[in-house]
Amino acid sequence: MKIISEAKAHGGRQGVYSMESEACGCDMSFAVFQPIQAKEQLCPVVWFLSGLTCTHANVMDKGEYRKMAAELGLIIVCPDTSPRGDHVPDEPDNWQFGKGAGFYLDATEPPWSKHYRMETHILEELPKLIAGHFAADMERQGIMGHSMGGHGALTFALKYPDRFRSCSAFAPIVQPSGADWSKPALEKYLGEDVAAWRRYDATQLIADGARFPEFFIDQGTADGFLEDGLRPWLLKEACRGTGIGLTLRMQEGYDHSYNFISTFMDDHLAWHAERLG
């Protein structure tokens, strides 16, 4: 692990680091906030997965999570959204695909399959490093995300319910296999067989029997992507009759930006802390 920067914040420490990723074939950056409690004890971990075009820096700079995380004693881990580097294939003019748009999956189609293996990076590589270098209680993990990252959080929780105790999201893409702004990416990463897309779609994972105790979601009513990309009502329909609890709050007048995320960040962190103990 390489230290890029570290600074004291709310009594704890906000750091930015990088690691050599075998899964992605490049150096991967990530941010970690450790509260002051981490000096004396292991602390619960909440992962934040960012959205399209973002890196770890967006939520770190604009998400306003540190004050509440410090009060609750939570470690916050913010991975990148895709592999990086001049040697990594990309579509520079397409913000919905390539760098900044890894969709938290393991690509199977060349040339993307060599580097775009974000599921393996986040679920296998990065947790080992977090456990080895930080005061992280890996028995108490929650996951949250925004937009594309909300999609990642929901699908990871559904596929790995024994790892994550809590899951929340801001304006998640709940059915990427049916949304105009995500279908082309899934086809390029995973191929034309739509059956291969199901394990990266929250609504279809639920239809196939995946379960998680409960989800907490905030969605802005003024979000420009609400009708075509996000469609939270599809998750509500998918959860009906399954035993999955869903708290879906439609927040009047809020858009898709970090103004929205920062407004309700404290609610989400408190919700995670209650379930992580």
Active-site option among 147, 168, 177, 182: 147
Instruction: Give pLDDT tens digits for 48-77.
Output: 999 999 999 999 999 999 999 999 999 999
pTM of the model: 0.97
Judge whether 170 and 145 are in contact, CB under 8 Å: yes
Judge whether 76 and 48 are in contact, CB under 8 Å: yes
Label residues 66-75 b or e (16+ Cβ within 10 Å = b).
bebbbbbbbb
Q: What are phi and psi of 25, to 5 degrees?
A: 65, 35
Burial of 64 (0-12, 13-18, 19+ CB in 10 A): middle
Position 228: which residue type? Answer: D
257 is catalytic: no
Residues facing residue 2 across a β-bridge? 18
Instruction: Give pLDDT tens digits for 145-201.
Output: 999 999 999 999 999 999 999 999 999 999 999 998 899 999 999 999 999 999 999
All structural domains of the chain, each given as residue ranges with its CATH number in brackets, are 2-276 (3.40.50.1820)
Active-site option among 56, 146, 151, 256: 256
**Residue indicated by tokens 């599921």:** 119
56 is catalytic: no
pLDDT at 25: 97
**Non-local CB neighbours of 71 within 8 Å, separated by 6+ positions:** none
133 is catalytic: no
Q: Report the distance separating Cα 192 and Cα 174, nearest Å.
A: 20
Q: Report the distance separating Cα 19 and Cα 135, nearest Å.
A: 18
Percentage of the residues of the chain whose pLDDT score is greater than 90: 99
Active-site option among 80, 106, 218, 223: 223
Reduce the DSSP state of residue 274 to 3 states and report it: helix
- Say which DSSP state 98 is in: B
